[in-house]
Amino acid sequence: MLNRFLLLFALFVMPVATSAQGVVSSADSRATAAGQQILRDGGSAADAAMAMMLALTVVEPQSSGIGGGGFLIHHDAATGRTQTIDGREKAPAAATPERFLGADGKPRPFMQVVPGGLSVGVPGNIALMAQTHAKWGRLPWARLFDPAIKLAEDGFAVSKSTAGYLAMVAPTWKDFPESQAIYWRDGKPLAAGETVRNPALAATLRRIAAEGPDGFYKGPVADAIVNAVQGSKRNAADMTRADLAAYEAKERPPVCMAYRAYKVCGMGPPSSGATTVLGILGMLERFDMKAMGKDDPRAWHLIAEAMKLAYADRDTWVGDRDFVDVPVAGLIDKAYLAKRSAGISPARPLGRYEAGMPPGAAPRTAAMSGEVPSTTHFVAVDGRGNVASMTSTVEGIFGSQLVAGGFILNNELTDFSFAPEKDGAPVANRVEANKRPRSSMSPTIVYDASGKPVLALGSAGGPRIIMHVAKTLIGWIDFGLPVAEAIALPNIYFGGDATLVEKGTFLAAMQGEMTRYDGLVTASDLGSKVNAVEYVDGAWRGAADPRSEGNALAE
């Protein structure tokens, strides 16, 4: 019932920010307000996005922050260029492929290695921010920190979602007193509405504001990170000051493909976002999705089939491109996708969903990684037409549970495949020194036939991120829905032999009909946090997922 109410709310009640000027959207209203203020002060879309990233460090600590990493895609209105920056975390130099194996040589249980230092990657968000600001910033660097510093110093009310996650992790926090010191009171986790003040985080942000990225990757903050990782009561590990000092964010080529009358662009490896989203779209292109529409169970069957095939390719072919060959062009090659699509029947499930052999690829084995549904997304467009879309994460709920300098440290290294080999061959996404784990984060910008950006979006949700973004794109492009309605469409994913559809939605109501085409269909909790902006009737309009506490605001 709750999901059904949220969907109706999004479709008929939820106010949507509209403006001929700038618009921002994030998963927390305090962060959205920070981005709005930066735009009003003359900042660029990139400035607003970075201010939101910092504010989310404070108010949404369970999902993202400066102790984690992210990916950003940017459209420069003056040059027309689309560029992407990789701020993904890296494994320390001492990491080996056996990092997550037990004494018996087998992968350790996922939740056994998440808490503590072993799962922490070298954070990338501040390096990403520095490169973003150098390329596209308009306001002074330090100005972008002001909203986050004010929130940390003055305090903020704990949101319902943060309170829920605090209650969830509470039984495991006996070994994490530094986390308890911030988010507990009187021996128990804070409840919704209680106030958090985080002077240690405010001091960290002031230092970085004054010293630039060196204030994070060197000096007292770097020492705090290393001490937290090496001194953890759980899974103490091997990150060093040299690992932090050596970290660099990287500009990567965007991955783009034509779909219908649009060009869709996203983030390339180590993200699997663009190749998998585009793979799904490419396999659907031969079907008249518009004619079927959102209420036809056959349309969702086709989406499910394309999804399963695209994810099979993802699990086999995508990893850190600095370490393994990733056949990016082959994965989105139209002829290859047409061949993959030829196996999809509108009337029945394929049944076996194996990776294909994209052009330019050499044989390789597949292996799953352990992403979990956390993360956050935010997007900004300014009055000059620049667009910034960024997904940021600490991986799981409160990451590694470790705190340094008042901020949560990620558990991003558990996104690597734990088994370094399969069938005697090395796995593309295995742990290696200085390597970045594969990600599903999918920040996306869509262009019309004239080359003008008309939509920017992304989502949280671990491996489901790809599907939240793909579903929204299909709703917007194929079903012709406004982006708020496309976001509110039911979510779909898969697990084992089943197609999973979102509980309490019209898709769950047609579960019986879908089984005629799809075999086993199961209703499941499939929450999401999609944030987006779209260009409609000469103005930008923002939207946020009704399942989240996010919002959109106009400049």
Q: Give catalytic residue positions.
A: 375
DSSP 549: S
96-122: string of b/e by CB count within 10 Å (b at 16+)?
A: ebebbbeeeeebbeeeebbbbbbbbbb
Q: What region, left, alpha or beta, does residue 359 occupy, with left being phi > 0 and alpha being psi -120 to 50 degrees?
A: beta
Transcribe 33-76 into DSSP letters: HHHHHHHHTT--HHHHHHHHHHHHHHH-TTT--TTSEEEEEEE-
Q: Is 272 annotated as a binding residue?
A: no
The number of CA neighbours under 13 Å toward the Cβ of 526 is: 29
Q: Which residues pair with 393 in a beta bridge?
A: 69
- CA Rg value for the chain: 22
Beta carbons of 234 and 116 less than 8 angstroms apart? yes
Q: How do beta strands 82-87 and 69-75 pair?
A: antiparallel
Q: Which residues pair with 494 in a beta bridge?
A: 499
Beta carbons of 229 and 91 less than 8 angstroms apart? no
Written as six digits, the tokens of 112 are 């056994």
490-500: string of b/e by CB count within 10 Å (b at 16+)?
A: bbbbbeeebbb
Specify burial of residue 90 (Cβ count, 10 A radius: 0-12, 13-18, 19+): buried
Q: Which residues pair with 387 in a beta bridge?
A: 75, 381
Q: How do beta strands 498-502 and 23-26 pair?
A: unpaired
Three-state SS across 318-347? CCCCCCCCCCHHHHCCHHHHHHHHCCCCCC
Look at residues 88, 94, 134, 145 and name the one whose alpha carbon lies nearest to residue 410.
88
Q: Is 462 annotated as a binding residue?
A: yes
The number of CA neighbours under 13 Å toward the Cβ of 454 is: 18
390-419: string of b/e by CB count within 10 Å (b at 16+)?
A: bbbbbbbbbbbbbbbbbbbbbbbbbbbbbb
Residue ranges of E strands in 242-318: 250-252, 255-259, 262-266
- Rounded to a whole number of angstroms, the distance between the first and last alpha carbons of the chain is 35
Q: Is 440 annotated as a binding residue?
A: yes
356-372: string of b/e by CB count within 10 Å (b at 16+)?
A: bbbeebeebbbbebbbb
Look at residues 541, 523, 526 and name the one whose alpha carbon lies nearest to residue 481.
541
The angle subtended at Cα 69 by Cα 64 and Cα 71, nearest 5°, is 105
Beta carbons of 439 and 270 less than 8 angstroms apart? yes
Q: Show binding-site residues for L-glutamate.
A: 88, 415, 439-440, 462
Annotated binding site: 88, 415, 439-440, 462
